[in-house]
Amino acid sequence: MKPILFNFSDAELNAFVTDMGQPRFRAAQIRQWLNRGAPDFSVMKNLPMDLRNQLDQMAVTLPVKIITKLESADGETTKFLLELADGNKIECVLMRTTYGNSVCVSSQAGCAMGCRFCASTLLGLQRNLTTNEILAQVLTAQWELRGDRGTSRPNGDPNNGDVSHVVIMGTGEPLQNTENVIGFMERLNQDLGIGWRRITLSTCGIVPGIYDLIKWGRPINLAISMHAPTDEMRSQIMPINNKYKLDDVLTAADAFTAAHNRQLMIEYILLGRRNEMGETELYNATPEMAECLADKLTGKNCMVNLIPWNAVDERDFAAPSGNAVHRFQDILIKRGIHTRIRRERGTDIGSACGQLRLNNHQGN
């Protein structure tokens, strides 16, 4: 297997370059390209061509390699299917929004959580990603925006601006890989200058992991994948709820937001089911469930993101109608709960929430 230069320390990179009979300053040049997310050596314009070719024979740049890149029809969303050195595949998504460029990264190859509505867990967990493998997803998106320019593109260019926001909401459960994910967030902050408040970590509710984040002490945004207001219903769709009960998850989340004076983000997928007549019946999205959710959240400093379910072929759910979604939201608003309906991005390329999966070349 070829060595991955991005993973080398400065001393290792120096040694590698001088072993090739090259002057030391080449190591610094290469490092600069690596930090910009250079996908291969051919783009390293300030290196002599024969050195680039030689490097290409001997090594690779990043711990992720782009297999396919899919663009949504509106041009706002790009999904990358990436291959890791061991052949595992992961996905990450770049979203160009009015508030900046946001990257959704995966924290694991596959997922062990088994949530009934999600595609990412269908093949189980392969392994945790390393800090560098998570970071390289952001650099890949940054390269997409900047290309081989050292700076961001001008206003008016669709790829204007740098990566400004990162959400850890791709495949995997970040709090099952807490150490590497924390290492990743530290690098984001130090190396890319991304502020803590522009980083969001989403968890299905691993209670000890939330306390680890509190101990870590950085004021990131925390999102909880709640999806049902009662333990009874939540356990039916999220097996992790058998281990960590909803009230304990919310208590831990409250402790996190209190520590940083942040608003807690609650994610709530709206699920329907098809009955024998082929009609969609609401599951967790009935008016009663909205009232029950409001009971649970009253008095908390939180924002509920309602996510109409995104289709996953293997999963036996259906998206509720637009009316049902609005009725659900209205109840929450009347009860004084901050709520918005999440605008899904990239549904046409299978990159919306819960659609990310391993090994998917078609992007559905």
Which residues form the interface with ligand SAH (CB under 6 A)? 113, 115, 117-118, 169, 173, 202-204, 225, 267, 269, 307, 309-310, 312, 353-354
Please state the closest distance from residue 81 (CB atom) to ligand SAH, in A.
Answer: 17
Do residues 251 and 242 touch, judged by C-beta distance below 8 A?
no
Closest CA to 131 of 4, 308, 218: 4
Please state the closest distance from residue 22 (CB atom) to ligand SAH, in A.
Answer: 43
Instruction: Catalytic residue, from 92, 111, 204, 353: name it.
Output: 353
For ligand SAH, the closer CB: 307 or 325: 307
For ligand SAH, the closer CB: 91 or 173: 173
CA distance to 46, 66, 122, 142, 243, per residue, from 136 (Å): 22, 11, 24, 9, 32
Residue 46 exposure: Cα atoms within 13 Å on the Cβ side: 13
* Angle 255-260-263 from CA coordinates, rounded to 5°: 80
Chain residue whose CB lies nearest ligand SAH: 354
For ligand SAH, the closer CB: 61 or 310: 310
Catalytic site includes residue 91: yes
Instruction: Catalytic residue, from 91, 133, 144, 173: name it.
Output: 91
Alpha-carbon 59 to chain mean position: 28
Please state the closest distance from residue 325 (CB atom) to ligand SAH, in A.
Answer: 12
String of b and e for 253-263 (b: at least 16 CB within 10 Å)?
A: bbebbeebebe
Catalytic site includes residue 281: no
For ligand SAH, the closer CB: 78 or 202: 202
Please state the closest distance from residue 100 (CB atom) to ligand SAH, in A.
Answer: 20
Instruction: Find the helix or strand (DSSP H, E) in which 214 lies.
Output: helix 207-216
Tokens of 8: 């080398």
The identity of residue 363, as a single letter, is: G
For ligand SAH, the closer CB: 143 or 317: 317
Do residues 176 and 149 touch, judged by C-beta distance below 8 A?
no
Please state the closest distance from residue 220 (CB atom) to ligand SAH, in A.
Answer: 14
Catalytic residues: 91, 353
